Amino acid sequence: MTDFEFLRPHAEKPASRLFLFFGLTFLITWGLAALLLIAPDFVDSVGGPDPQDPYASWLYYIAVYGPTLAALILLLVFQGPRGILQLGRDALAPGRPLSWVSWIALGYLILPIGWILFDHVGKAIGQEALFGTTSLRGLFWTAPVTLATTNYLLMDPGPVGEEPGWRGYAMPRLLLVMHPILAGALLGAIWGVWHLPAFLAAGSSQSEDGLNFFWFCLSLTSQGVMMTWIYLRSRGNWFAAGLLPHAAVNVSSSIGAFANTGLMYPLAPVLWAVLICGLDPVMRQRIRLTGVS
């Protein structure tokens, strides 16, 4: 039986805190998106997005930081500074240097390994265009070096702006109120739907890259299950479970590691989710802590 006591710091009224978190997250992000659609001239006058370059806008960064901002606000309101400190401590779980490094490495590598697998499957059956093709050097050298030696994580608001909220705040509370597989899939699906304004905004990566919203949501739903497994097995490390897989996707795309993503983008996390749920019993047991309903 796996010890889930690392979830204890998040056990105060988890269901009600989740409603507040999701409500505040969507209010921040979708509220700004709605304001842009309703009053674009006003938004532009206060520093809103350039129609051709939303990344130049400070309002864009606030919108993308919605999950992290919501988490920080709720932690400060209900727990004060100790809540913020706990969020920081969780990024260092499980607290043993060698184990921490191992989970960090897995968090970054798990999706690139899946992409390479589908790259080889596509080539083996002559369906490269369908399954997608990618660069081994790009995924395992250029992308991680870019993350480690540049300010990429500061310039790309996605991982830092979202993951302390999705995996740092929402994930442990969801695990306390529902089955791990359902918690991961639900959070992944919400994560995907939350991106809808990006598909409607000119100049965003989702809009410019022509991503399919259905495949995008399927990928994020599966990633949610995959990330839940890493979170549980690393004893609550949202940095390994969320930020690094998220960063692997974004930086690999940014540096051109994909000739085309094809079906590898949704299918790689689907494969991991199926294998994880089928092989690891930790994902098939309901988590119960004494004193938490």
Please give the full DSSP string across 123-178, using - where no structure is assigned.
HHTT-HHHH-EE-HHIIIIIHHHHHHHSSHHHH-HHHHHHHHHIIIIIHHHHHTTS
Q: pLDDT value at position 54?
A: 58
Q: Is the dihedral of CA 187, 189, 191, 193 positive or negative?
A: negative
Instruction: Assess contact for 263 and 131: CB atoms under 8 A.
Output: yes
- Using DSSP's 3-state secondary structure scheme, residue 190 falls into helix
Where are the strands (E) in the chain, listed by range? 133-134, 258-260
> Does residue 1 register a pLDDT over 50?
no
Determine contact, residues 126/276, Cβ cutoff 8 Å: no
pLDDT at position 207 over 60: no
- Structure confidence at residue 33 (pLDDT): 87
Model confidence at 199, in pLDDT bands (50, 70, 90)?
A: confident
Residues in the chain: 293
- Report the C-alpha gap between 194 and 211 in whole angstroms: 15
pLDDT, tens digit, 9 for 90 and up, residues 159-197: 999 999 999 999 999 999 999 999 999 999 999 999 999
- Interaxial angle between packed helices 213-233 and 180-194, expressed in degrees from 0 to 180 and rounded to the nearest 10: 140
Q: Which two tokens stand for residue 15?
A: 């269901």
Return d(Cα 112, Cα 292) in angstroms, integer: 37
Placement of tokens 């949501």 in the chain: 217
Predicted TM-score of the model (pTM): 0.93
> What is the structure's pLDDT at 163?
98
* Between 41 and 248, residue with greater pLDDT: 248
Q: How many angstroms separate the Cα of 107 from the Cα of each of 112, 237, 243?
A: 10, 10, 8
Each residue's pLDDT tens digit, 75-127: 999 999 999 999 999 999 999 999 999 999 999 999 999 999 999 999 999 99
Q: Give residue for tokens 């093709």.
A: 133
Kindly tell me the burial class for residue 160, based on how many C-beta atoms sit within 10 Å of its own C-beta (0-12, 13-18, 19 or more).
Answer: middle
Per-residue pLDDT reduced to its tens digit, 124-164:
999 998 999 999 999 999 999 999 999 999 888 999 999 99
